């Protein structure tokens, strides 16, 4: 597996149709127009779904007919606009699913689709005028369907030939990157529906073209843990995103789709939302699943304009009835699976990471610190680096560190502002011999680049077990 940004990726292979077991019992589900097939698959189990007739989609991406899609560790849904027939099978039988039967008047999917067509009208007008397309921010409480809505809008936009720039500002989740990061990627091709956003960049064959994200490491689990650092990373991401809009007319026309974590009203949740709106010149804020948050956001941005002198529009949307809560245990397993896939691949692609012994003295490791108790939201976000150079110790064993595009001789500010080249895993720390056992995607020297260590994602003891 190549570290993102290094080397050429192999050409995409032809789609591989997989089925867990031919002997698995098959269930036929017939869906009427606007119905949804909602399913939950736990870790360690798989669910195979094949579209036999009609049309169906998952998060805005159409299912190919007579192609088996295998899902694992996922809570999601498949919907149809005109009706379809699905074949369902699971070797283990360990999954939960049901069919939701709303009408066109009852499903919020119709309002989501109408929103998409409105965004398309904005993009068409922007294309004719040579201006920037809509910059859309999706906010709401936890487990309200924010990411699903962003994926739907992304999938529908790519089907219209658009190339939206998708931004992930949720530090607990990763978009084409590991948890703890903020990232951006242009989506000009379909999303792999068997994963959240698609696989992280790798040198293995892929049925779906690989997206190459720009990644910055925040390294903490919540924006409130270090709001100044979080804002700094956001600002850096916004600079690069704005540059991409300026350089690529197709991306400029399509605009931005920005995902967020759950808004925590009691902990200054609106503060970083306002920062995102300002830095990315957001002109449309979508509030999903909360009348209170919608009212507060409406008051906060009433009468305000973007840096492009456009009014900021706030739109409230109902959340889908299919949205389910992902508990802490499930999310932890999702994060661990993402880390395992980064180093070892998945069921379709096997990767062979490299293990090497490295001297303490050969590495430059920087710890990402949470904010001090005396820090306030009003402090200058550029007042200090919030990074501390540390000596390797047992504290970093079983942790994932980011390898950054910077020099070990650069200042803490420069290292903080640099984007991620890739990740390594610290498998073992020998303090007596002063050596580390490092797992990396490629066999490369690590001493030339600084390594960043944060408290998120949490240590993972079973990676080499």
Please tell me which residue, 463 or 398, carries the higher pLDDT value: 398
Question: Any known ligand binding at 66?
Answer: no
Q: pLDDT tens for residues 177-210?
A: 999 999 999 999 989 898 888 766 665 566 777 7
Here the CATH number for the domain that contains residue 217 is: 3.40.50.300
Residue 81, in any domain of the structure: no
pLDDT of residue 380 exceeding 60? no
Residue 67, in any domain of the structure: no
Q: Helical H runs in 160-283? A: 227-247, 249-254, 269-279
Residue 392, in any domain of the structure: no
Distance CA 405, CA 414 (A): 10
Distance CA 55, CA 79 (A): 9
pLDDT at 397: 94
C-alpha 423: how far from chain center:
16
Question: Any known ligand binding at 75?
Answer: yes
Residue 2, in any domain of the structure: no
Could you tell me the pLDDT band of residue 435, with boundaries at 50, 70 and 90?
A: very high
Residue 251, in any domain of the structure: yes
Question: Any known ligand binding at 145?
Answer: yes
Question: Any known ligand binding at 144?
Answer: yes
Domain limits for position 121: 109-317
Residue 305, in any domain of the structure: yes
Q: pLDDT tens for residues 85-117?
A: 999 999 888 899 999 999 999 999 999 999 999
Residue 277, in any domain of the structure: yes
Rg value, the chain, Cα: 22
Distance CA 459, CA 465 (A): 13
Q: Exposed, middle or buried, 395 (CB in 10 Å: 0-12/13-18/19+)?
A: middle
Q: What is the mean pLDDT of the chain?
A: 88
Q: pLDDT tens for residues 153-183?
A: 999 999 999 999 999 999 999 999 999 999 9
Yes or no: say if 437 and 427 are a contact pair by the CB < 8 Å rule. Answer: yes
Asked if omega into 457 is within 30° of 0 (cis), the reply is yes
Question: Any known ligand binding at 146?
Answer: yes
Range from 128-142, 150-164, 289-303 carrying the lowest mean pLDDT: 289-303
Of the candidates 319, 421, 412, which has an alpha carbon nearest to the alpha carbon of residue 77?
319
pLDDT at 263: 83
Question: Any known ligand binding at 369?
Answer: no
Cα distance from N-terminal residue to C-terminal residue, the chain: 20
Number of separate domains in the chain = 1
Of the candidates 105, 47, 106, which has an alpha carbon nearest to the alpha carbon of residue 78?
47
Question: Any known ligand binding at 67?
Answer: no
Assign 427 to helix, strand or coil. Answer: strand
pLDDT of residue 383 exceeding 60? no
Question: Any known ligand binding at 189?
Answer: no
Q: Exposed, middle or buried, 82 (CB in 10 Å: 0-12/13-18/19+)?
A: exposed
Residue 292, in any domain of the structure: yes
């Amino acid at each position: 597996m190549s570290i993102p940004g290094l080397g050429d990726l192999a050409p995409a292979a032809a789609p591989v149709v997989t089925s867990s077991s031919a002997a698995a019992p098959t269930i036929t589900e017939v869906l009427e127009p606007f119905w949804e097939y909602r399913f939950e698959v736990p870790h360690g189990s798989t669910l195979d779904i094949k579209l036999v007739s009609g049309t169906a989609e998952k998060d805005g991406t159409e299912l190919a007919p007579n192609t088996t899609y295998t899902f694992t560790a996922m809570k999601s849904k498949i919907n149809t606009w005109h009706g379809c027939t699905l074949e369902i099978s699971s070797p283990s039988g360990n999954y939960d699913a049901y069919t939701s039967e709303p009408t066109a008047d009852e499903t919020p999917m119709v309002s989501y689709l109408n929103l998409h067509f409105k965004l398309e009208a904005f993009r068409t007008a922007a294309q004719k005028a040579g201006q920037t397309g809509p910059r859309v921010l999706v906010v709401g409480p936890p487990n309200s369907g924010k990411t699903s809505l962003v994926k739907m809008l992304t999938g529908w936009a790519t089907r219209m030939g658009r190339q939206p720039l998708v931004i992930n500002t949720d530090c607990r989740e990763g978009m084409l990157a590991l948890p703890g990061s903020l990232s951006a990627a242009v989506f000009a091709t379909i999303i792999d529906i068997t994963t959240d956003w698609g696989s992280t960049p790798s040198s293995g064959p892929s049925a779906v073209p690989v997206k190459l994200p720009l990644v910055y490491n925040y390294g903490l689990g919540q924006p409130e843990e270090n709001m100044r650092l979080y804002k700094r990373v956001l600002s850096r991401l916004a600079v690069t995103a704005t540059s991409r809009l300026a350089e690529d007319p197709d991306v400029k026309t399509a605009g931005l789709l920005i995902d967020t974590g759950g808004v925590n009203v009691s902990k200054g949740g609106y503060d970083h939302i306002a920062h995102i709106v300002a830095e990315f010149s957001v002109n449309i804020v979508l509030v999903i699943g909360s009348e209170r948050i919608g009212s507060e956001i409406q008051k906060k941005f009433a009468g305000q304009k973007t840096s492009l002198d456009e009014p900021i529009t706030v739109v409230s949307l109902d959340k889908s009835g299919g949205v389910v809560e992902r508990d802490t245990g499930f999310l932890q397993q999702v994060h661990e699976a993402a880390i395992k896939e980064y180093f070892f691949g998945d069921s379709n692609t096997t990767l062979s990471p490299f293990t090497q012994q490295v001297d303490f003295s050969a590495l430059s490791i920087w710890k990402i610190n949470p904010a001090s108790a005396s820090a306030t939201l009003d402090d200058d976000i550029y007042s200090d680096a919030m990074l501390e150079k540390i000596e390797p110790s047992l504290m970093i064993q079983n942790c994932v560190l980011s390898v950054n595009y910077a020099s070990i001789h650069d200042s803490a500010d420069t290292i903080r502002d640099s984007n991620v080249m890739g990740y390594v895993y610290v498998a073992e720390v020998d303090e007596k011999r002063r050596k580390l056992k490092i797992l990396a995607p490629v066999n490369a020297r690590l001493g030339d680049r600084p390594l960043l260590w944060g408290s998120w994602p949490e240590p993972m003891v079973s990676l080499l077990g």
